Structure 1
Amino acid sequence: RRFAQLNEERWQTILDPLKENLNKFEKKIDETYNQETREKAALRKELEQIININRQMSDDAQKLTDALKGDKKMQGNWGEMQLEQILEKSGLEQGVHYTKQGAYQNEEGERVIPDYVIHLPQGKNYIIDSKVSLVNYERFFNAEGDEQKAYYFNEMVRDIKKHIDGLSKKSYHTLTNTPDFVFMYFAFESALFAALQREAGLFDYAFKRNIILVSTTTLLASLRTVSFIWTQEKQRQNITEIAKLGGQLYDKFVGFLENMTKVGKSLESAKDTYQDAMNQLIKTNANGSYNAGTIVGQAEALRRLGATPSKQIPQAILNRAENEENNLLQQG
């Protein structure tokens, strides 16, 4: 029984690590594919949210035009608030996928504080800064004559170029691990579209200064791309983890086979030891003479001579000993 217990414990020691690694492997695969299914199901809902956000922001911008008119600080705060709302709804997480108003140093050693730094896998980043130009757009929109419209349009373009020049001088594009451009976000989309339609060189003007002009629609598309990149990165990490677990599982399996081989050898050795012990009991003594008899035969003779044991030698052992002695008689 002790041998059986030790054997069972040894089997348990071999099988438990293998079972544990199998469970980890199955759990990781389930997590990966369940996550992918949930993300696909959520994509349609997120796209609907993006459309609703854009519509709501356009309505809010129109309503706030009068309230914000002439107050540049309020305009800036409102633009940053709209940008933050987009980031929250894009599937990105603050502190993980982006940093709000973090302090950095540009290549001139100056301390700068971009509105938002968007983080990408492998330590890459890009920067978004919010700008709002409402006053001259509102005047342009409500102007009655062509001459008046042209005047306020030129003023609006001048405001936008002033924002571009100011942002370019901050040299955000020189920060570590950033591309050589910065996104300048206009929350009031219709103002930017009007400027780009009537001033064909405006986009190029910004691009030459390492600035890319974006509205709610174009920024949402960019941020959704970033979210997708992070999703792919997470899946890549999951695949790497699955491969790692698979390697560990394979190693455990090899170890299991090695231990099985050792167990087999141990069983063979135990069998040989058992056979040797039995031979000592049922075969003749070392000198090989029949008169010496077998140990079993001698023990049984003691019983017949009057010894009073409390137990009986198993009949199968007695039969084997008797057969051994009969064989010796025939050989003699």
Structure 2
Amino acid sequence: RFQPDVLIQLPGDKQVVVDAKVSLTAYQTLTGAQDEGSRALALKQHVQSLRNHLKGLSLKDYQRLEGLQSLDFVLLFVPIEAAFAAALQADPELFQEAYGRHIVIVSPTTLLATLRVIDSLWRQERQSQNAREIAERAGALYDKFAAFIQDLDEIGSRLQQLDKAYLGARNKLTDGRGNLVGRAEQLKLLGARASKRLPADWLERAGAETPLPGEIEE
């Protein structure tokens, strides 16, 4: 069961994991050493203790744990500044080794500065993500709008074709000698029994004679 010591919340439901379980037993021995040989041995044990903690912390892989939305690195907090400095002075590669394991070693004086850098970089990343999302959504909206205009043009073209076909069909009914409207009206005048009459404007276009009201068959 893994339980981080501290979770620092970031915008976007992200967290920074801080581990503070590092053992300083060897460092306490170092501070109490009476001779140079004892000091050298304790310092070596202190560095090795820190390195072992790095290995164990990397195996926990906090950023992969279910329920956490952690960044891809963990902060290892060394609570005593002198212990932090002594380890890095004895082994300058220790910090780079930790970074290779996705761990950043911090001390009381560097923790706040590190968090500020993380906050600044994370905000920039969030802004970049927002900008990319805005660009993608704007592009999708533009594509939809362009497709909509194409559809409108297609509808307009179809309407023009339909209007042209309508005019052609109407002209066939009313144009020319012996057109259908004129012939139909002649049948009405000759006594065809009908309950309705053709519209006057159609009769006019067809050049047919419009019967007087009294001439309309009941």
TM class by shorter chain equals 0.5 to 0.7
Cα pair distance change 1:208/1:268, threshold 3 Å: closer
Among candidates 253, 256, 259, match of residue 145 of structure 2:
253
Aligned with 1:131 (options 22, 29, 48): 22
Give the number of the structure whose residues are more often helix, by fraction.
1
Distance apart, 1:276 and its partner CA: 0.9
Partner of 1:241: 133
Q: Contact 2:33–2:39 at 8 Å: present in 1 too?
A: no
Q: Corresponding residue for 2:47? A: 164
Which letter maps to 1:204?
Answer: Q
Question: Counterparts of 1:1-332 in structure 2 under 5 Å?
Answer: 84-85=5-6, 88-91=7-10, 97=15, 130-133=21-24, 162-168=45-51, 172=55, 184-187=76-79, 191-193=80-82, 203-210=88-95, 214-284=106-176, 290=177, 293-322=178-207
Q: How far does residue 278 in structure 1 lie from its aligned partner after superposition?
A: 0.8
Distance 1:249 1:90 in 2: 34
Find the counterpart in structure 1 of residue 65 from structure 2: none
What does residue 215 of structure 2 align with? none
Alpha-carbon displacement from aligned partner over 1:177-234 (angstroms, at most 9, x marks no partner): xxxxx965223xxx425x67xxx86542242434675224422432343344333333
Q: Where do 5+ consecutive residues of structure 2 fail to align?
A: 59-73, 99-103, 209-218
> Following TM superposition, by how much is the alpha carbon of 1:259 offset from its aligned partner in structure 2, in angstroms?
1.6
State whether residues 26 and 45 of structure 2, in contact with CA within 8 Å, keep that contact through their aligned partners in structure 1: no
Q: Which structure is richer in relative contact order (CA contacts within 8 A, separation 6 or more)?
A: 1
Calculate the TM-score normalised by the size of structure 1: 0.43
Residue type at the aligned position of 2:195: S
Q: TM (normalized to structure 2)? A: 0.61
Post-superposition offset of 1:307: 2.1
- With over 3 angstroms needed to count, the CA separation of the structure-2 counterparts of 1:169 and 1:92, relative to structure 1, is farther
Q: Aligned-pair distance for 1:280?
A: 1.0
The two structures, once aligned, show a CA RMSD in angstroms of 4.3
Compare CA radii of gyration and give the structure with the larger one: 2
1:89 is aligned with what amino acid? I
Q: Match of 1:231, SS? A: helix
**Structure 1: 5+ residue runs without aligned partners?**
1-79, 100-115, 117-127, 141-148, 176-181, 285-289, 324-332
